[in-house]
């Protein structure tokens, strides 16, 4: 018999808040974290906007020496993980450390460090490249550094599946906890790619919005005037724990994770398969694993990137899975406010899904002012909605044709 898996802690550092409470409050209020880029001069770039994390001080979580030796994406991960561990009231020591794992994903890794050190190489020569360059840029270093910071000695693994990375890390943790003898896994995603080469690269493949004149309106999922996603940064981390472990610790769970599935489009490097066929398979499989019927789902947190094809095909995928219920279930894309956190987006949206259950509230899709006739479902436009929520599906799709769906339910012990 497989173990039941629960969420017992949450942590977040996002463009709309430096912790869980502030992030959730901003999302429910419909607050956008998107503005003109401040981390570099983007005047000559097609896209001059992003969802940056502001006022973040890594010294709140790390020693100053460590801060200098860690890329921004790792700093975010450590901060969010420490928040989540504290939220779960988890004390890690020699008695339990080998039964606690870490799975923190990043789709891109230390691109800021790579960009900076290539400049050092070009201007100053090879002997001036930092000895910390390689460990700073490795995508697995978020998981590794979190393990070292909190003292967890179970498996430390980093999934990389583009914008599905964060969801897949949580799914992998769910799988391992269901079948293994681990007690707890700290899982999530982190990303920090708002830098010259990151923005230029996404511009080159025509992925980003160029609505620079009104940044807070630029991310508009399912709207007829959407023209691309807005790059975001940050991290979100969940503490996942078996029933036996949380019972032993006398901890009240926040939600239960009941389903996960992934699929591949096997179609195109950036475009989703026509009709959203791959995403539909992921949702169907996740619901089957959760032993749920589609009409039992109370809220869908959509991938909803604000790109023309993704939103259209995700809509078709939801119709294929949920049939008539697709027109009744509230859906929303919180990327309208946070931008697209790439490899961290699935983890942030998993956190949002848990909070939706806890607070019985659906965050809005802001900027949905001119509905696309091909996107004709209930996307909770512009204003949060208070309803009873016991089950949530959240989707994450990524370049390379990765599709992942997670299912969460309210606590029933």
The answer to whether residue 280 is domain-embedded is yes
Q: Are 351 and 26 in contact (CB under 8 A)?
A: no
DSSP 345-407: HHHHHHHHHHHHHHHTEEPPBTT--SB-TT--S---BSS-EE---SEEEEEEEETTTEEEEEE
Active site residue 359: no
Q: Which of 224, 249, 274 is the last residue of a domain?
A: 249
Q: Which of 249, 276, 302 is the last residue of a domain?
A: 249
Q: Assign 3-class secondary structure to 188-224.
A: EEEECCCCHHHHHHHHHCCCECCCCCCHHHCCCCCEC
Two tokens at 413?
């012990």
pLDDT for res 271:
87
End-to-end CA gap in the chain: 17
- Domain assignment present for residue 254? The answer is no
The reply to whether 342 and 223 lie within a common domain is no
Residues 245 and 300 grouped into a single domain: no
pLDDT value at position 155?
96
Question: The domain that contains 31 carries what CATH number?
Answer: 3.40.47.10
Kindly state whether residues 229 and 268 are assigned to the same domain.
Answer: no
Pairing state between β 184-191 and 234-242: antiparallel
d(CA 375, CA 384): 19
Q: Residues 6 or more apart from 248 whose CB is under 8 A from it?
A: none
Give domain status of residue 60, yes or no: yes
Q: Map 11-29 to HEC letters.
A: EEEECCECCHHHHHHHHHC
Please pick, among 87, 195, 303, 375, the residue that the annotation labels catalytic: 303
Same domain, yes or no: 167 and 295: no
For residues 237 and 264, state if they share a domain.
Answer: no
DSSP string computed for 64-118? HHHHHTS-HHHHHHHHHHHHHHHHTT----TTTGGGEEEEEE-SS-SHHHHHHHH
Last residue of a domain, one of 210, 229, 249: 249
Residues facing residue 189 across a β-bridge = 105, 236
Q: Are residue 222 and residue 360 in the same domain, yes or no?
A: no
96 and 241 within one domain: yes
If you ran DSSP here, which 8-state letter would residue 296 be given?
G
pTM above 0.85, yes or no: yes
Residue pair 37/43 in contact (Cβ under 8 Å)? The answer is: no
b (16+ CB within 10 A) / e for 348-380? bbbbbbbbbbbeebbbbbbbbeeebeebebbbb
Same domain flag for 320 and 219:
no
Beta bridge partners of 12: 236
Say yes or no: 348 and 213 in one domain.
no
Whether 307 and 396 map to the same domain: the answer is: yes
Report whether 171 contacts 178 (CB < 8 A): no
Residues 190 and 86 in one domain: yes
Could you say which of 87, 195, 340, 402 is catalytic?
A: 340
Instruction: Give average pLDDT by consecutive 10-residue segment, the chain, 413 residues.
Output: 93 98 98 98 97 97 95 98 98 96 97 96 96 95 97 96 97 94 96 97 96 98 98 98 96 98 92 92 98 98 96 97 98 98 98 98 98 97 98 96 97 90
Q: Are strands 361-362 and 385-386 parallel, antiparallel or unpaired?
A: antiparallel
340 is catalytic: yes
Residue 317 lies in a domain: yes
> Which of 163, 195, 231, 375 is flagged as catalytic?
163
What is the pLDDT, as a whole number, of residue 289? 97
Residue 92 lies in a domain: yes
Indicate whether 193 and 275 sit together in one domain.
no
Count of domains forming the chain: 2
Does residue 225 form part of some domain? yes
d(CA 49, CA 194): 10
Asked if residues 333 and 365 have their Cβ atoms less than 8 Å apart, the reply is yes
Query: Which range marks the domain in which residue 287 is found?
Result: 259-409
Strands (E), 167-313: 184-191, 234-242, 255-264, 299-301
Tokens 């004390």 found at: 91
Region for residue 104 given its phi and psi (left: phi exceeds 0; alpha: psi -120 to 50; beta: otherwise): beta
Residue 134, classed as helix, strand or coil, is helix
Interatomic CA distance for residues 321 and 117, integer angstroms: 47
């Amino acid at each position: 018999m497989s173990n039941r898996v629960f969420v017992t802690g949450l942590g977040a550092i996002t463009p709309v808040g430096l912790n869980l409470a502030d992030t959730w409050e901003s999302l429910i209020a419909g607050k956008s974290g998107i503005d003109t880029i401040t981390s570099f001069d983007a005047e000559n770039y097609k896209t001059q906007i992003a969802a940056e994390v502001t006022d973040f001080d890594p010294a709140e979580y790390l020693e100053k020496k460590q801060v200098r030796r860690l890329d921004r994406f790792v700093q975010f991960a450590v901060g969010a993980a420490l928040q989540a561990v504290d939220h779960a009231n988890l004390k890690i020591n020699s008695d339990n450390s080998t039964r606690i794992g870490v799975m923190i994903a990043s789709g891109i890794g230390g691109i800021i460090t790579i960009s900076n050190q290539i400049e050092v190489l070009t201007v100053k020569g090879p002997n001036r490249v930092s000895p910390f360059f390689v460990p700073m840029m490795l995508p697995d270093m978020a998981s590794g550094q979190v393990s070292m910071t909190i003292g967890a000695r179970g498996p430390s693994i980093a999934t990389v599946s583009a914008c599905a990375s964060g969801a897949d890390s949580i799914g992998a943790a769910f799988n391992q906890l269901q079948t293994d003898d681990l007690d707890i896994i700290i899982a999530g995603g982190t990303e920090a790619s708002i830098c010259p080469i990151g923005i230029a690269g996404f511009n080159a493949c025509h992925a980003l919005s160029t609505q620079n004149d009104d940044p807070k309106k630029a991310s508009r999922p399912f709207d007829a005037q959407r023209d691309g996603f807005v790059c975001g940064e940050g991290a979100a981390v969940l503490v996942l724990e078996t029933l036996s472990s949380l019972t032993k610790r006398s901890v009240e769970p926040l939600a239960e994770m009941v389903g996960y599935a992934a699929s591949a489009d096997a179609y195109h490097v950036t475009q989703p398969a026509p009709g959203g066929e791959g995403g539909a398979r992921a949702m169907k499989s996740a619901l089957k694993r959760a032993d749920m019927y589609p009409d039992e789902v109370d809220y869908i947190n959509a991938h909803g990137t604000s790109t023309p094809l993704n939103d259209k095909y995700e809509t078709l995928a939801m119709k294929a899975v949920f049939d008539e219920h697709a027109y009744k279930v509230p859906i929303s894309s919180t990327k309208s406010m946070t931008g697209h956190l790439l490899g961290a987006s699935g983890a942030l949206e998993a956190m949002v899904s848990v909070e939706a259950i806890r607070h019985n509230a659906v965050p809005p899709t802001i900027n949905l002012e001119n509905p696309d006739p091909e996107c004709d479902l209930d996307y909770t436009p512009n204003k949060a909605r208070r309803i009873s929520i016991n089950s949530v599906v959240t989707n994450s799709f990524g370049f390379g044709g990765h599709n992942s769906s997670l299912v969460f339910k309210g606590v029933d012990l």
